[in-house]
Amino acid sequence: MTAESAELLRWYDSHARVLPWRVGPAERAAGMRPDPYRVWLSEVMLQQTTVAAVKAYFLRFTELWPNVAALAGAEDDVVMGEWAGLGYYARARNLLACARIVVRNHGGRFPDTREGLLTLPGVGDYTAAAIAAIAFDRPETVVDGNVERVMARFHAVSTPLPKAKAELTALAAGLTSGVRPGDYAQAVMDLGATICTPRNPACGLCPWRDPCRARALGIAAELPRKAAKAAKPTRLGTVWIARRADGAWLTERRPDKGLLGGMLGWPGTGWAEIAPDDTPPLQAKWQAAGEVRHTFTHFHLRLKVMAAEVDREVESGVGGFGRLNPGDLPTVMRKAHVMALTALENPENAGENRVGFA
DNA sequence: GAGTCGTGGAC
DNA sequence: TGTCCAAGACT
């Protein structure tokens, strides 16, 4: 163990954040170990997602499904509905697939090595190392966005990401502690999340302020460098939102692959830079409810929302009418639903509504 | 290796 | 308003 990693562990002992999935340093010292199921679940939820956003989902999932066997036995649509709003929905599909593999092929126990964990769906280099270190105290090197930033500054690496990834991984491995590896892994990430932040790093409070090369050079806030990102195009589309007299809504399940895969949605056009032809899924007195603006990772969407009340007898070929829990909808579809509801309640204002406009 | 894949908060 | 960013994985 290096002097630096020892210093970081001392910092962590007094500054570790309290998180629902975390076994803190004092509890670990008392012999407690985290539940691999909870570590895995939290790490998957935390992929490209903030701690603030994950907390409520983690508590809800562990309440509904306290162990991997319970989750493996859940119905797909229920899990997708509970994941709604958290984003990156392939994670939810992989989560279920992984739970079922762990139960069926591993006797309900997660593999306890990085290599074994890597075979699971939805578990990549980072997550495998994180579970191995945190749940099984193996001295694996975790490299997430926090660690990349901390290492780029600590060693003053000016090579832009993602090209610098391999170099930063090697530098991180050089600092990884063989003592208390689970605490160390969380300590580096906590350092990046609370001190060595992307903007305005709090170098004065950093346990690594002395050995940090970027701080010595006065360029900590400039690192890590990143390659320029492509501009986001704008795509257009239309959704048709029909409410039957008995309160049922016409929804459809999206295909498993692709954007919002496996999630509930509204019948509508595809989304393209040239407005697609929009033909309603059924004949009704459609009103233009307004336009939803929503930004995905790689494009902006302007979604025209059409709404209608239909008779109980109406049938559609594209999906089914049924009871709707709006919380099961991904966010963009929930925005469209809110807009349709507003139009149906206030038909005189139809077309004036905007969602996603400041 | 470069694209794809969500969302909400900070600035 | 727009841009960046968050405990990445998969193709």
Q: Which nucleotide is nearest to A226 (CA to C1')?
A: C4
pLDDT of residue A76: 98
pLDDT of residue A194: 96
- Residue A260 CB contacts under 8 Å (≥ 6 apart), including other chains: A89, A254, A330, A332, A333
pLDDT of residue A311: 87
DSSP characters for A107-127? TT---SSHHHHHTSTT--HHH
Q: Which residue is nearest to nucleotide C7 (CA to C1')?
A: A46
- Range A325-354 average pLDDT: 87
Q: Which residue is nearest to nucleotide B10 (CA to C1')?
A: A199
Using a 7 Å cut-off to protein CB atoms, list the covered nucleotides of chain B: 1-9, 11
Q: Which of A91, A70, A201, A77 has the alpha carbon at shortest distance from A146?
A: A201
pLDDT of residue A322: 94
Q: Which residue is nearest to nucleotide B5 (CA to C1')?
A: A88
The number of helices, as runs of H, and strands, as runs of E, in chain A is 14, 7
Per-domain residue ranges of chain A: 234-355
Q: Which nucleotide is nearest to A86 (CA to C1')?
A: B7
pLDDT of residue A162: 94
Q: Which of A306, A239, A226 has the alpha carbon at shortest distance from A266?
A: A239
Instruction: Please name the residue ranges forming H helices in chain A.
Output: 3-15, 25-29, 36-45, 51-64, 68-72, 76-83, 90-105, 114-118, 125-136, 145-154, 165-175, 181-194, 213-217, 331-345
- Any idea which residues of A carry the catalytic annotation? 43
Q: Which of A26, A76, A31, A87 has the alpha carbon at shortest distance from A54?
A: A87
Q: Which nucleotide is nearest to A49 (CA to C1')?
A: C6
Q: What's the pLDDT tens digit per position in A215-260? A: 999 999 999 999 988 899 999 999 999 999 999 999 999 999 999 9
Q: Grade residue A358 by pLDDT with cuts at 50, 70 and 90.
A: very low
Q: Grade residue A348 by pLDDT with cuts at 50, 70 and 90.
A: low
Q: Grade residue A34 by pLDDT with cuts at 50, 70 and 90.
A: very high
- Range A182-200 average pLDDT: 97
Cα pseudo-dihedral A97, A98, A99, A102, rounded to 10? 120
**How far in angstroms lies nucleotide C7's C1' from the CA of residue A126?**
8
- Range A279-305 average pLDDT: 95
- Residue A287 CB contacts under 8 Å (≥ 6 apart), including other chains: A306, A307, A308, A343, A347, A350, A351
**CATH architecture assigned to A234-355:** Alpha-Beta Complex (3.90)
pLDDT of residue A10: 98
- Among the residue ranges A64-73, A91-100, A239-248, A342-351, the one predicted with the least confidence is A342-351
Strand partners, A244: A310
**How far in angstroms lies nucleotide B7's C1' from the CA of residue A351?**
26
pLDDT at residue A316 tops 90:
no
**How far in angstroms lies nucleotide B4's C1' from the CA of residue A3?**
41
pLDDT at residue A340 tops 80:
yes
